[in-house]
Structure 1
């Protein structure tokens, strides 16, 4: 187990280590090569837990900054808007080809064919 996976934050980690210690359980972190055995082990785990918590907070800050920059540049997040099937069918019935429909609606030509096939089964 990795040290930063044991608890949500430093306080949680210290509480868990204390609870395990009261039960006589020693936690060994194989990736980090440390354990909660002895006073020094508990101190090292506490310090590393605090460092891990600070690093998680910094990562979150950088992620949010990146999102804000992307939004400022006009990048949109989330699912793409759904295709207006009525408009697609209307364009198809007007005799407009799949390539032009795809271009006008901002979707792929394969999507046009797929939706037309779905609509054909519903219309029958």
Structure 2
């Protein structure tokens, strides 16, 4: 039985170090360690594809946490079925579960559904917080681009800094800064 490892983070700014360290501690060798820095919302990932090409019947794939393999329940179930059909087991280290045996596959399916529901609740709470912040007047996103040509034209037309600031929706100090 060969042991492979798979680690994933959602963005390039996140680190794989904690997952890789845990997988190596379980005996995964560097050449059998596959990683992705991509969303788990689809199964088309270069590291996962490379892993799929390497595994053979009797192999074991170690993953630190359930949600590192995938985020969507349907995709997780499909991946687990795919690995199972190839005779490959998947073990999730932090969750203490494995797809070895029928009971293990059932538990993984249930946990994937629970994880998806939790992510939906987190997203719902985040959106509620954003709406509440917007209602309180908090603005999100980048600051609006200031049309410097318009600002100069208003100044040349004889308008003062206060009047320009009101018309353009910017601070008076910004008007002075841009005019200098």
User: Is 2:97 the partner of 1:34?
Assistant: yes
Hey, what's the Cα distance between the residues in 2 that align with 1:26 and 1:17? 8
**CA RMSD of superposed structures (Å):** 3.0
Moved over 4 A (4+): 87-91
More strand by share: 2
User: Is 2:146 the partner of 1:83?
Assistant: yes
Match of 1:74 in 2: 137
Q: TM-score, normalised by structure 2?
A: 0.50
Hey, what's the Cα distance between the residues in 2 that align with 1:62 and 1:108? 37
Give CA deviations for 1:56-99 in whole Å, capped at 9, x if unaligned: 110111111111111111111111012342466576xx9x9xxx
Match of 1:56 in 2: 119
Hey, what's the Cα distance between the residues in 2 that align with 1:9 and 1:85? 47
Please say which structure displays the higher CA radius of gyration: 1
Q: 1:16 aligns with which of 74, 79, 104?
A: 79
SS of 1:63's partner is: helix
Hey, what's the Cα distance between the residues in 2 that align with 1:51 and 1:106? 48
Q: 2:171 aligns with which of 106, 110, 115?
A: 106
Gaps of at least 5 residues in structure 1 are 117-124
